[in-house]
Amino acid sequence: QLQLQESGPGLVKPSETLSLICNVSGGSISNSYRYWGWIRQRPGEGLEWIGSIFYSGNTYYNPSLKSRVTISIDTSKNQFSLRLTSVIAADTAVYYCARDAYCSAGGCSNNFFDPWGQGTLVTVSS
C-alpha cells in the first residue's frame, strides 16, 4: 500500500526558506510515470496546489507561487522535496504531499491526488 510522509521544520522565520521532504513507501517513484505533488492549506482555508514533479524531473508550478517554489525529486531515496523561499506569515499552512497524475506517451490520466500524506504544519514566525 503506497504511503507518503512529510517531514521538515515546523517553524520557519520570515524571509527564510521553507524546506520539506516527502518520503514515499510501499512503491517506487522510479519509472512510475507519475507526477508527485505538493498542496497546502492555510488555517481555516481551502486547498491550494503548489506544484508537481514528474518522476523524470519535469515540473509544473502554481503561477502564483512559481517565483518562490522549487520541487525536486530523488529517486534513489524514493522521495521528493519542496523549497519555498522568502516566506511570509501567509505561508503558514499545513503542507501535504500526494501522488498525482499518470502520464505516458499516450497522454495523462488519473489526474487526481491519491493517496495523500498526513500533512505537516509549518508556521512562519520570528
Task: Give the shortest CB-94-to-other proteins separation in angstroms.
Answer: 9
CB–CB of 23/5 below 8 Å?
A: yes
Question: By C-beta, is 16 or 48 nearer to other proteins?
Answer: 48
Q: Which stretch binds other proteins (CB under 8 A): 8-16, 24-32, 59-67, 75-83?
A: 59-67
Can residue 88 be called a binding residue for other proteins (CB under 8 A)?
no
How many other CB atoms are there within 10 angstroms of residue 101's CB atom?
A: 19
CB–CB of 28/123 below 8 Å?
A: no
Can residue 16 be called a binding residue for other proteins (CB under 8 A)?
no
Question: By C-beta, is 19 or 62 nearer to other proteins?
Answer: 62
CB–CB of 8/83 below 8 Å?
A: no
Q: Which of 21, 48, 75, 102: binder of other proteins (CB under 8 A)?
A: 48
- Distance from C-alpha of 63 to C-alpha of 61, rounded to nearest angstrom: 6
Cα distances from 67 to residues 4, 15, 36, 55, 85, in angstroms, run: 26, 14, 19, 22, 9
- Tell me the number of residues near other proteins by CB under 8 A: 23
- Distance from C-alpha of 84 to C-alpha of 102, rounded to nearest angstrom: 25
Can residue 82 be called a binding residue for other proteins (CB under 8 A)?
no
Can residue 55 be called a binding residue for other proteins (CB under 8 A)?
no
Q: Which residues are at the interface with other proteins (CB under 8 A)?
A: 37, 46-49, 52, 60, 62-63, 96, 100-101, 108, 110-119
